Structure 1
Amino acid sequence: MKQTIFIIGLGLIGGSLALGLKRKDGLTIVGYDSNENSLVTAKKLGVIDEIASNMEDAAQQADIIVFATPVSITIDLMKLLPTWKLKENVIITDTGSTKNEIMNAAEVLKHFGITFIGGHPMAGSHKSGIGAARAYLFENAYYMLTPFVDEAEENLKRLKDILLVTKAKLVEISAQEHDHMTATVSHFPHLIAASLVHQLSEENKSFPFTKQLAAGGFRDITRIASSNPIMWRDITMQNRQEISNQLQLWTEEMLRLKHLIEKADQKDIEEYFAQAKQIRDDLPIAQGALYSVYDLYVDVPDYAGVISEVIGYLAKEDISITNLRIVETREDIFGILVISFQSMEDRAKAVKCIATHTSFDTYIA
């Protein structure tokens, strides 16, 4: 049966969802964005099938409506839904990074017989906008669904059947669980990365060479501090209580570590690092809550043309790369050349390719 999917917001997430859904037969993807250039580009690139010039009119024809907009905007739009003439069995969902406020707003919709199932595809990119949209963005990434506890199973199944074509891992949890866990593994780490960069900036005023030394491991562990500041302002405000709780736990952990250092017991300090290493090494490699970067560290010798040589081997085997850089400060990382790939599969192919053609060591951090 032919179904119409109406996606409101055609940035990286909305555009990638549209492309991913186009793999499924029988779907018409209609798109709307407040930025007219994004709309025209989306149609020109084949991201959407039809342009919606008016949200309310397009919503009347939709079987599923997706709000791929910032949470604050999504909540404002949700308030309009009861005034729109929607299909009786329409399903509304979203892609927001926080869920408690969204689901609280959705409570009102239940009184009007409107089905809302919260959603959060936990994927991203260092790029933004419709031009960065990719059909494979959600592949192997967790796609969290936060339905009401009394949501009809047939509604969940309808939404899941459509989302499965994106090849994401669909997981059902409560909004409260979602916001707690994402605060732990996504929202809170962004704050820590930002605070480390601020601390570096202050240190650099007295020791100007500090920033040069930060080009290695420090730059890698603070990569997420380069994320969109407006988006992270909103996430911090919307999930501030959970993030504040994590900061309190972090403060207690730092005091414990400070005590260990001041105590100067070599065995205890070594055990602290050993436990951290074990826990970190046991973490799953598959894509999790943070934007995954598929980096490969290559320990190349220093001679003319060596980088061109490595890239040439990858090109011959049609292995695409997204970025590469040479690292000068290497005390806490594994190689001089860092190559970034679009997927785990491409990185695995690169490891095999480099091993076949060279004697260079490769590492995955």
Structure 2
Amino acid sequence: MNNLTLGFIGLGLIGGSIAKGFKRADQNHHIMAYARHRSTLDAALRDGTIDEALDGVDENLSRCDYIFLCTPVSYNEEYLTAIRPYLRKDAILTDVGSVKTNIHEAVEKMGLEANFIGGHPMAGSEKSGYQYSTDHLVENAYYVITPTPFSPPEKVEELRRLALSLSALPLILDYRQHDYIVAGISHLPHLIASSLVNLVKDKDTPEQTMKLVAAGGFKDITRIASSSPVMWQQICATNRENIQAILGDYIASLEQVRTAVAGGDDEAVYDLFDTSREYRNSIPDRSSGPIKKEYSLYCDIVDESGAIATIATILAAHQISIKNIGIIHNREFEEGVLKIEFYEEDASLRAVDLLTQCRYTVYHR
């Protein structure tokens, strides 16, 4: 698995993060990439993520052991056609799409099943683009692998080990099973978050009081509504049947909740919260499970000019990088009023110690 030549078509958040992860894992990997914007390739060359920038899908790809297709799902079939003439007989083409059925069907139609193994690193961000990619985005995240009936077993195992080299958790699934699962645990939550945000927008008071006081739980469960609308439109189009089925089940469950609330069925309402709490608590904690942990703290500050700048300066002086910082206007869930997020756990722990030493009241999450 050493000294592999890896090609990337598309170098956004996911493609860029996987390429950075491979380069971190083994500097001897030779990585080439093509992206629509030359500025992306120039940035990747400057920071050492890629060794070679391609002007297009061309004969250079014939040198690749693996080609990672990291473009929006709607472009997959077009790129499959373009890549096909340059695909070595023993090379593997894989993708990172969050829906697998369409590309598997396209691969089967083109007779490329022996050269294809589907992939879906289950990590991401509400941000998009190479500038937000990191070499650790997929750490502790499931990396689903969906072979075809003709995928060489030794290549499936090699791709599994490549995922492990990214510190991801490889999981081999049938592509149909994958699409049903993500409809429930990924696609439906995005629809719920977006529809809830729009509901509040439409039902808000003329003074926008709902928007003013929205904090805590509302922001937590609607964070993903900030994701790319183009990407999620395409996901809904490509996984329509599974989403329709599970969305129908969810609507039916909401009708049951409405009936229970309207009828004063306190036992049913209690069961709703009790069973959901038990199941939610059975999901592995974010610090040890496959979901990327948010490293953050909450800090009481004096409401005066320069208070936030003072804290930011203290952290910067000790080389502690901040991912995000902002005031919490509602203390419904948190005691502190200033929330600070970090990229790494070590940075958050150092910040807690430092700010505590500076006599700030800090609440660590």
Question: Alignment partner for residue 33 of structure 1, among 28, 32, 35?
Answer: 35
**Aligned equivalents of 1:99, 1:137: Cα separation in 2:** 21
Q: Report how far residue 243 of structure 1 moved.
A: 1.1
SS at match of 1:139: coil
Residues in 1 aligned to 2:103 and 2:176: alpha-carbon distance in whole angstroms: 11
TM-aligned CA deviation for residue 25 of structure 1: 3.9
TM-score by length of 1: 0.88
CA gap 1:162/1:268 in 2 versus in 1, 3 angstroms? closer
Q: Which moved more, 1:30-39 or 1:292-301?
A: 292-301
Q: Partner residue of 1:340?
A: 341
State the one-letter code of the partner of 2:123.
Answer: A
* Counterpart for residue 99 of structure 1: 100
Matched, 1:72 2:74: yes
Q: Identify unmatched segments of 5+ residues in structure 2.
A: none
Q: Distance in 1 between matches of 2:348 and 2:280?
A: 20
1:328–1:181 Cα change, 3 Å = same
- Residue 165 of structure 1: how far off its partner (Å): 2.1
Residues 54 and 311 (structure 1), Cα distance of their counterparts in 2 relative to 1, 3 Å cut = closer
Identity, % of aligned positions: 33
* Structure 1 Cα separation of the partners of residues 197 and 270 of structure 2: 26
**Contact 2:327 / 2:339 at 8 angstroms: preserved in 1?**
yes
2:238 & 2:112 partners in 1: Cα distance?
25
Amino acid in structure 1 at the alignment position of 2:261:
I
- Name the structure 1 match of 2:119: 119
CA distance in 2, matches of 1:295, 1:220: 14
SS at match of 1:340: strand
Conserved? CA contact 1:60–1:87, under 8 Å: yes
In the aligned structure 2, how far is the partner of 1:48 from the partner of 1:297? Answer: 35
Q: Residue 5 of structure 1 aligns to a residue in which SS?
A: strand
Following TM superposition, by how much is the alpha carbon of 1:167 offset from its aligned partner in structure 2, in angstroms? 1.3
Gaps of 5+ in 1: none
TM-score, normalised with respect to structure 2? 0.88
Aligned-residue RMSD, C-alpha: 2.8
Query: Relative to structure 1, is the Cα distance of residues 121 and 51 closer, same or farther in structure 2, using a 3 angstrom cutoff?
Result: same
Distance in structure 2 (CA, Å) of the matches to 1:312 and 1:283: 38
Verify the 8 A CA contact 1:140 1:286 in the aligned structure 2.
no
Aligned residues: 362
State the Cα distance separating 1:52 from its structure 2 match: 1.1
CA contact (8 A) 2:331 2:337 kept: yes
186-195 vs 338-347, which moves further: 338-347
Which stretch of structure 1 is more off in the superposition, 61-70 or 164-173?
A: 164-173
Q: Please show how residues 287-326 of structure 1 align to structure 2 within 5 Å.
A: 292=292, 294-298=294-298, 300=300, 302=302, 304=304, 307=308, 311=312, 314-315=315-316, 318-326=319-327
Name the residue aligned to 1:151: 151
Distance 1:254 1:359 in 2: 44
Aligned equivalent of 1:90: 91
Q: Please state how far the C-alpha of 1:21 moved relative to its aligned partner.
A: 0.8
Q: Which residue of 1 aligns with 2:19?
A: 18
Q: Within the alignment, does 1:264 sit opposite 2:264 as a pair?
A: yes
Which residue does 2:330 correspond to in 1?
329
Point out the more displaced range, 159-168 or 189-198: 159-168
- Deviation of residue 316 (structure 1)? 6.1
Contact between 1:32 and 1:53, CA under 8 Å: does it hold in 2?
yes
CA distance in 2 between partners of 1:51 and 1:88 (Å): 23
- Cα 1:143–1:352, aligned 2, differ >3 Å: closer, same or farther? farther
1:274 shift after superposition? 3.0
Instruction: Give the direction of change, closer, same or farther, for the CA distance of 1:267–1:157 in structure 2 (3 Å limit).
Output: closer
